[in-house]
Amino acid sequence: MRSRLTTVLLIALTVLLAINITRPYVDRLLFAATEPRAITPRGTLAEFEQTAKQIFETVSPSVVHVVVQVPGGLRGDPGAAQSGTGFVWDKAGHIVTNAHVASGEGAIAVRLASGEVVRAKRVGAAANYDLAVLRLDRPQSLPAPILVGRSGNLSIGQAAFAIGNPFGLEQTLTTGVISALKRRLPTSGGREIADVIQTDAAINPGNSGGPLLDSAGRLIGVNTAIFSPSGANVGIGFAIPIDVVNRIVPELIRSGRVPTPGVGILAADEAIAAQLGVNGVIVADVVPGSPADRAGLSGIDPSTGAVGDVIIEADDKPVRRLSDLTERLESVGLGGSVELTVLRDGNRRTLDVSVVDVGQ
């Protein structure tokens, strides 16, 4: 009896082993998809997908690739050009991009979304705002300008869409949200842009100068920079707010430059003020004949290094850094005057100083 049971168990184990060994072959024979699979209907796109799709289809034809020839790069050197993104501003063929994208004296070529390559000329640039305007030279067809929105009423958390040419990959859409507002961004002009938009929509090298859009497809900013130790996107990108762009660009189109409100001082580096424990703007030097000079402002003594005047208030508003002062001067505007409160040798005094164009 026991011998018979053992035999049955051995037979059962043998059968199971055989099934286990042959099963892959049987599965491939019976179930292998040797013909194209049947297509499963997808249904409609989700609402946010429809929004992104519509925005890209509407706006991308107006987004361009800007390439600036670097002097000495006519021998085919692939690194002899700088590039970025731009977009159509008006029906006259003006293109808005970043000042750092359009910098230099090299020839500029613009590739439209249609593939057409058009020469462009510099109309003007404002380094203090990292904005530049180009004008296309007789394009065959001109895409529609992007609709303009507002940045003053943006909210953290609302959707943001960026279209550009990261790493030269044209017509790329990235999505995200507005991560923060009222950031300050230093520019090559030695000032700071106020109220800058921060977004986590992926912005990489090559996106500079491209549009940042809201969910209605309206322009709310111009992408300008990323914060990244590696130089690639880490979810922190910045855009110049459209309220600033909409003020600066028409001025560039009209006159090729933007007046720079000032009083005629050179401010010391903020790091120096921090090292000295000074809460204000240290006047490093005063331009001879300027309103600051006529008002009696004094800079750092070149022979002793002694600090002269420190600006601590402008029109009774605290001045802790240079951007506080420049923001107030821009609010006052050319031809106006600003009341500066300064400290010298521990003593406060108030001076009435005219605001003039110091960018000439």
Instruction: Point out the residues that are catalytic.
Output: 100, 130, 208
Q: Where are the alpha helices (DSSP H) in 41-160?
A: 47-59
Beta-bridged to residue 265, according to DSSP, are: 286
C-alpha radius of gyration, the chain, whole number: 31
- Can you tell me the distance from the alpha carbon of 102 to that of 68, in angstroms, rounded to the nearest whole number? 7
- Can you tell me the distance from the alpha carbon of 359 to that of 163, in angstroms, rounded to the nearest whole number? 32
- Can you tell me the distance from the alpha carbon of 60 to that of 161, in angstroms, rounded to the nearest whole number? 11
Cβ(248)–Cβ(131) below 8 Å: yes
Beta-bridged to residue 126, according to DSSP, are: 131
- Can you tell me the distance from the alpha carbon of 121 to that of 107, in angstroms, rounded to the nearest whole number? 8
Cβ(197)–Cβ(73) below 8 Å: no
- Can you tell me the distance from the alpha carbon of 269 to that of 275, in angstroms, rounded to the nearest whole number? 10
Q: Is the dihedral of CA 175, 178, 180, 181 positive or negative?
A: positive
Task: Look at phi and psi of residue 30 and say left if phi exceeds 0, alpha if psi is from -120 to 50, else beta.
Answer: alpha
Cα Dmax for the chain:
122
SS3 content of the chain, % helix, strand, coil (to 5): 25, 35, 40
Could you give phi then psi for residue 205, rounded to 5 degrees? -55, 130
**Distance set, CA 201 to CA 17, 152, 159, 236 (Å):** 56, 19, 9, 8
Closest CA relative to residue 161, chosen from 229, 111, 103, 87: 87
- Here the tokens at position 19 are 């099934």
